[in-house]
Amino acid sequence: MAVVYQHRRNDTNDVFYIGIGKNKKRPLSKHHRNKHWVNIVNKHGYSIDILIDGCSWEDACKIEKGLIAEYGRKDLGFGLLVNETDGGDGGFGIIVKPETREKIRKFQLSLNKKGIPGRKQTDEVKEKIRQSLINRKRPIEVVEKLKKPKINKANYSYPKNKIKCPYCEMEAQASLAYRWHFDNCKNKI
């Protein structure tokens, strides 16, 4: 179920935003709004009109798209709405500045093979880092930890408490005893 709503300026009563939400909380929320929406609300205040309540998400997306097309977007040069997209599900129709596109392109180029952002270092920088790590003095605690033998957890034996079956008087670890003894014991009469 979805909600289609509009926000009106308190000074002129003009519609300045069309939106959709999955519940009635979204029209009331001031979070995740663009700077133009925030500026209007801070300067003039706003009122909320719920246009459609209880429709499917797909229908709400279509209605929102139609209303945004009808009222028009301010950022495209016509209309009153401060919506930054054409509406519907997703960011279709958003205007991205050339500087932002360049930042995105540079970021994507800086991703390493694992998809983690990072800079590609020159061989000279890599050698300087290697040399600095070789001559680095470590704290005594770190050196002591490095000297301790590493214990493989799979081979490490913890002291296990054994319990005795009342029927056959066999001692076993708790998990095995409850599985094969007590109510499941062969000697139970």
- Tell me the average pLDDT of the chain: 82
Q: Is residue 165 assigned to a domain? A: yes
Q: Is residue 62 assigned to a domain? A: yes
Identify any residues that bridge with 54 across adjacent strands, giving them in sequence order.
Answer: none
Q: What is the pLDDT averaged over residues 58-79? A: 90
Q: Quick count: other Cβ atoms within 10 Å of Cβ 36?
A: 16
Check pLDDT > 90 for residue 103: no
Among 25, 57, 76, identify where a domain stops: 76
Task: Please tell me the predicted confidence (pLDDT) of residue 14.
Answer: 94
Task: Please tell me the predicted confidence (pLDDT) of residue 20.
Answer: 93
Q: Is residue 83 assigned to a domain? A: no
CB within 8 Å of 135: residues ≥ 6 apart: none
* 15 pLDDT tier (thresholds 50, 70, 90): very high
Check pLDDT > 80 for residue 71: yes
3-state secondary structure of 158: coil
Task: Please tell me the predicted confidence (pLDDT) of residue 5.
Answer: 95
pLDDT tens sequence across 104-161:
877 777 766 555 666 666 788 778 877 877 766 766 776 676 666 666 665 555 566 7
Q: Is residue 129 assigned to a domain? A: no
Global pTM exceeds 0.95: no
The residue among 39 and 180 whose pLDDT is bigger is: 39
Q: Quick count: other Cβ atoms within 10 Å of Cβ 120?
A: 8
* 41 pLDDT tier (thresholds 50, 70, 90): very high
* 37 pLDDT tier (thresholds 50, 70, 90): very high
Which residues constitute the domain of residue 182? 160-189
Least confident among 18-27, 55-64, 159-168? 159-168
Among 56, 76, 96, identify where a domain stops: 76
Q: What is the pLDDT averaged over residues 49-59? A: 91
189: buried, middle or exposed (CB in 10 Å: 19+, 13-18, 0-12)?
Answer: exposed
Task: Please tell me the predicted confidence (pLDDT) of residue 19.
Answer: 93
Q: What is the pLDDT averaged over residues 44-49? A: 95
Could you give the CA distance from residue 152 to residue 14 in angstroms, rounded to a whole number?
70
Least confident among 13-22, 34-43, 164-173? 164-173
The DSSP-derived string for 36-101 is HHHHHHHHH-EEEEEEEEEE-HHHHHHHHHHHHHHH-BGGGTSSSB--SS-SSSS-TT----HHHH
Number of domains in the chain: 2
Q: Is residue 130 assigned to a domain? A: no
Could you give the CA distance from residue 34 to residue 26 in angstroms, rounded to a whole number?
14
Q: Is residue 132 assigned to a domain? A: no
Cβ pair 87, 64 in contact under 8 A: yes
Q: Is residue 57 assigned to a domain? A: yes
Among 20, 53, 76, identify where a domain stops: 76
Q: Is residue 44 assigned to a domain? A: yes
